[in-house]
Structure 1
């Protein structure tokens, strides 16, 4: 979906297809003609935006076969779908029975991550709509924190320099600018926005920045205003909510323990890498907890649990309609918004994924409309 900002720019709203388990091109085409087409119908969108996830396997196939890339672009067009952003965080196997820490490999110290991301950038220049010249890719926050060494830091810095040069060369060759956003996440080397500034502040700001995930920031207990004022380019906002448990109500989180994904959990007095550790007594129960479990934006969990949707709304307002130093409305701090609830397959109870995604997109565009944006 495209929305016109009151200051003039176009803001793109998409849903992230990492919710779907396809690892190859056949599966991706099935997504587009299946769930994505149904979501478009349910939302009534003239053009439905996708935050496309391409596994390493799918990206390599598109890189090696221009005809397949042209076929994918044609399929997007015929289905009324468009891609201005890719999710380059999961490398592959994102719907395996157990993912957990594997989602962070290869990290940015490993050459495979650099090669994959440059391939995605090349692919995105071919998938961008004809009237769009800027695309974005979200990626992991360098690495998981354990095992981080000076040698790994040096390897990461070298990779980021090569990445920036590659993106500059791509822009010169194609006339299209692709920016990569590193996504702060609890437990990682870049866990918070201050860490992002410290580790990425000297990077090429024309092509490298951050992807802010509202769920991650809420679990990190970061103030929305601080995140919005971090001073780095905000390549993309992932529109997401975490689950929150009140003091004494943490037992209800047991329904969200599952084996596939990591669910980092935090309160004001401590942190655990996964929810079972917290429920086993690692965190005090006299304080509220927030857990990295992406919750549907439009629906509240059963009491006593709630979500961080109010935090998300604050972040949307600060990023999309910031005030200028002169007191008038400034241009948005990011123009790429991606609904990223990838946990539908592990939520308690039966769900209709297409209906759920459509409801999330409607929730988001209604809030953007309240901020003065108009769908086009």
Structure 2
């Protein structure tokens, strides 16, 4: 199994900038780990993916650049379309939706790119994608349009496999607040609509933890539905057991930064889960009588300072469950802490050092 880290942590939206970021960080991470080869889960903005998809020579040159740096690509993150490091991202990361032809075009471009970037010995490639879109507005007509788009990308995936002998699978990544909010939502929608030979799920363990879902039951349900966990995004959420204290609220407020949306869920004593779409709203509105989990990807290897903790226990249990249910292909595992640059100052470290530490931690947990 090739463990990767996701390059959506780097603000780069053209090929030259991508290569500069890989030189500054990915190569440094590989050297810190003492490895000849490092897995990178590439994020390519839509304009970059389009340029590569239209130019076979550019794909060959890019593949050679990656090889020269000792970097291997088996997975792409095609969730953010572009502008992922704008000063304010929030809901824009969920656009365009799967009802928009641009989303289909972007995903098809990523299929063409990944098929030519895969190492010769790669068993398959994976592409993670957004869970249809933000939940509002979403209609039955939107469902039908999205289903047709999935039919088309499935056709492309099948033709790519037949023509090039490269198996690439699409992995739908549920996220709090979206149409497919939970893994259960994703399983219910996909099981009735997609060909599981080409489309499965991406299990983001931060998102799973925020939903307060049981990892083992969740993974078992995926298998029972005839679907495959194609990719695991190894990530950890913030957890606060007693969010009503002054110390807890002060610690949480440090993470209420303006760039990304940080959805919050509160588990009530009766088992119900309350939802807020962002941390400032949660601090103002949730009753704080039960534990909170916050969609803020925190470093895997370094627990946040008390009274905050993280959900690495959910990550470890998810990986164990996925290993138990894995078929002939083990899912790709991608460390996806894209929030290094927006962490509170006292929680940061040198980026290459931090990524290397996360990969060491993830390797131990997933072995």
TM-score higher than 0.5 here?
yes
1:236 offset after TM fit, Å?
Answer: 0.0
Distance 2:186 2:258 in 1: 29
Paired with 1:187 and 1:334, the residues of 2 have a C-alpha distance of 29
Once the two structures are TM-superposed, the CA of residue 123 in structure 1 deviates from its matched residue by: 0.5
Determine the structure 2 residue equivalent to 1:309. Answer: 312
SS in 2 for 1:147: coil
How much does 1:61 deviate? 1.5
Give the secondary structure class of the aligned counterpart of 2:85: coil
- Kindly indicate whether the alpha-carbon contact (under 8 Å) linking 2:104 and 2:149 is maintained by their aligned counterparts in 1: yes
Pairwise CA distance, 1:177: 0.8
Within the candidate set 202, 206, 218, 1:211 is matched to 202
| 2:241 corresponding residue in structure 1 | 246
Deviations 1:256-293, CA, capped at 9 Å, x for gaps: 0011000000011411000000111x212221100000
Distance 2:328 2:8 in 1: 26
| C-alpha deviation, 1:88, in angstroms | 0.3
Q: Partner residue of 2:214?
A: 223
Alignment partners' CA distance in 1, 2:366 and 2:114:
26
5 Å-filtered alignment, 1:172-191, equals 172-191=162-181
Residue in 1 aligned with 2:258? 259
Instruction: Give the whole-Å Cα distance in 1 for the aligned partners of 2:170 and 2:91.
Output: 22
TM-score, normalised to structure 2, is 0.93
Deviation at 1:150, TM superposition (A): 1.3
CA contact (8 A) 2:79 2:128 kept: yes
Gap regions ≥5 residues in structure 2: 269-273
For structure 1, the 5+ residue unaligned runs are 1-10, 324-329, 370-376
CA distance in 2: counterparts of 1:101 and 1:182, whole angstroms: 18
Q: For residues 79-111 of structure 1, give each alpha carbon's deviation from its aligned partner in whole angstroms, at most 9, with x where no partner exists.
A: 111000000000000000000000000010111
* Matching residue within 291, 295, 302 for 1:292: 295
Which among 335, 341, 344 is matched to residue 337 of structure 2?
341
Shift of 1:46: 2.2
The worse-fitting range, judged by mean Cα deviation, of 162-171 and 56-65 is: 56-65
Q: Does 1:279 align with 2:283?
A: yes
Corresponding residue of 2:35: 45
C-alpha separation between the residues in 2 aligned to 1:334 and 1:253? Answer: 36
* SS of alignment partner, residue 138 of structure 1: strand
Give the Cα separation in 1 of the matches to 2:83 and 2:23.
22
Paired residue secondary structure (1:30): helix
2:72 corresponding residue in structure 1: 82
Deviation at 1:66, TM superposition (A): 2.2
For 1:368 and 1:287, how far apart are their aligned partners in 2? 31
TM-align CA RMSD: 1.3
TM-score by length of 1: 0.91
Question: Tell me, what secondary structure is at the counterpart of 1:244?
Answer: strand
For 1:237, the equivalent position in structure 2 comes to: 232
- Per-residue CA deviation, residues 128-160 of structure 1 (Å, 9 max, x unaligned), is 001124100000001110100111111101101
* Contact residue 316 and residue 366 of structure 2 kept, 8 A: no
Residue 351 (structure 1) shift = 2.6
The answer on whether the counterparts of 2:266 and 2:288 sit within 8 Å (CA) in structure 1 is no
Three-state SS of the structure 2 residue aligned to 1:146 is coil
Q: Does the CA contact (< 8 Å) of 1:29 and 1:72 recur in 2?
A: no
Distance apart, 1:332 and its partner CA: 7.2
Match of 2:6 in 1: 16
TM superposition shift of 1:334: 3.6
Pairwise CA distance, 1:228: 1.2
Q: How many residues align?
A: 351
Runs of 4+ in 1 over 4 A off after TM superposition: 330-333
Rate the CA distance shift 1:271–1:333 in 2: closer, same or farther, 3 A: farther
